[in-house]
A = this chain, B = another copy of it.
Amino acid sequence: MTPGTRRTITGFSNPTVKALRALRDKKHRKREGRFLAEGLRLLTDARECGRLPETLVMATGRDPHPLLDALEADVLAAGGDVIETGVDILSKITGKDNPQAVAGVFAEFDTTLERIDRSAAPIWLVAQALRDPGNLGTMLRTADAVGAGGLILIDDCADPFSVEAVRASMGAVFTQAIAQARWDDFIAWLCGGPGSEQGGQLVAASLRDAVPYRGAAYAAPCFLLVGNESRGLPEEYEMACDLRVTMPMRGRADSLNAAVAGAVLAYEVLACLDPQ
């Protein structure tokens, strides 16, 4: 493999700066099949999961760090590019006032359902029409924390490769499997269509015909389904679930933030399936 190149960019109007900045826009991101991730910690997580950025962008005048040196060496060895530029330009690229000293451009992953190995973990999170990229990233972060296998996105969800989702995931976008599917395809896959071997328990956070979430009869692999932020789950989706569970609502509200509901449920499932 040809080693990558190293260069310095000083101008805001440099076409590379424009191309990197454009990755904050979904349409452009999909056309390029690339996304941005920021921060040494995130990029190190990615590297340790076998994901290297194609392009590494570093701030001039940054503090030296052995992990950054290692990352740079790996990127160059893999044929990637390393760009040094000013903090002001990095700020423009990432859209943050106080940008991290380093950012990377990654190729988007394959997010087909067929890539999911359900036997790899006892818990999987499933989100339906989740619109907020911060909620999506937070669910990835929670999935990592409970030792889930990944996050399956049903119907029209926010883009898991948006800057906001990647940021909120705190690196879990690299550690968790991510799949995107239509409901019918997901159900066919889950229930044993071609390519399915073990099935799985589909659990909905629900108010309809539901049992208390605490100590419910969870079974691995358990797929926890959370609905859209304002509409919740369609009734037919809830009714297709193996188990509907409900959380106490002691106040005026009748629902939780979607990422919060998923997390409370995921920790309960973890405690039931894997008490330690």
Q: Interface residues, chain A, CB within 8 Å of chain B?
A: 45, 48, 134, 138, 141-147, 168, 170-172, 175, 214, 247-253, 255-257, 259-260, 263-264, 267, 270-271, 275-276
Instruction: Compute how far the CA of A255 lies from the CA of B145 in the bound complex, rounded to whole angstroms.
Output: 7
Contacts of A249 in B (CB 8 A): 145
| Nearest-Cβ distance from residue A256 to partner chain B, whole angstroms | 6
Instruction: Compute how far the CA of A271 lies from the CA of B257 in the bound complex, rounded to whole angstroms.
Output: 19
Contacts of A143 in B (CB 8 A): 251
Tell me if A257 and B144 are in contact (CB < 8 A).
no
| Nearest-Cβ distance from residue A161 to partner chain B, whole angstroms | 19
Contacts of A48 in B (CB 8 A): 252
Known A-B contacts A260-B263, A264-B263, A264-B267; the reply to A253 vs B145 at CB < 8 A is yes
Tell me if B141 and A257 are in contact (CB < 8 A).
yes
Tell me if B144 and A252 are in contact (CB < 8 A).
yes
Contacts of A168 in B (CB 8 A): 257
Of B138, B147, B271, which contacts A260 at CB under 8 A? B138
Contacts of A270 in B (CB 8 A): 248, 250
Instruction: Compute how far the CA of A172 lies from the CA of B172 in the bound complex, rounded to whole angstroms.
Output: 30
Contacts of A145 in B (CB 8 A): 247-251, 253, 255-256
The contact sample of 7 A-B pairs, CB cut-off 8 A, is A138-B260, A147-B251, A172-B252, A172-B253, A250-B270, A264-B264, A264-B267
- 11 more CB-based (< 8 A) A-B contacts, given A48-B252, A146-B248, A147-B248: A141-B256, A145-B250, A146-B250, A147-B251, A168-B257, A170-B255, A172-B253, A247-B267, A256-B263, A257-B259, A259-B259
Query: Which of A134, A146, A251 neighbours the largest number of chain B CB atoms within 10 Å of its CB?
Result: A251
Instruction: Compute how far the CA of A51 lies from the CA of B138 in the bound complex, rounded to whole angstroms.
Output: 33
| Nearest-Cβ distance from residue A266 to partner chain B, whole angstroms | 9
Give the 4 A-B CB pairs with smallest separation, nearest first. A147-B250, A144-B251, A260-B263, A138-B257
Instruction: Compute how far the CA of A88 lies from the CA of B11 in the bound complex, rounded to whole angstroms.
Output: 38
Contacts of A255 in B (CB 8 A): 145, 170
Contacts of A257 in B (CB 8 A): 138, 141-142, 168, 259, 263
Of B142, B147, B175, B214, which contacts A256 at CB under 8 A? B142
| Nearest-Cβ distance from residue A127 to partner chain B, whole angstroms | 14
Instruction: Compute how far the CA of A45 lies from the CA of B252 in the bound complex, rounded to whole angstroms.
Output: 8
Instruction: Compute how far the CA of A260 lies from the CA of B256 in the bound complex, rounded to whole angstroms.
Output: 11
Query: Which of A141, A145, A249 neighbours the largest number of chain B CB atoms within 10 Å of its CB?
Result: A145
Tell me if A252 and B138 are in contact (CB < 8 A).
no
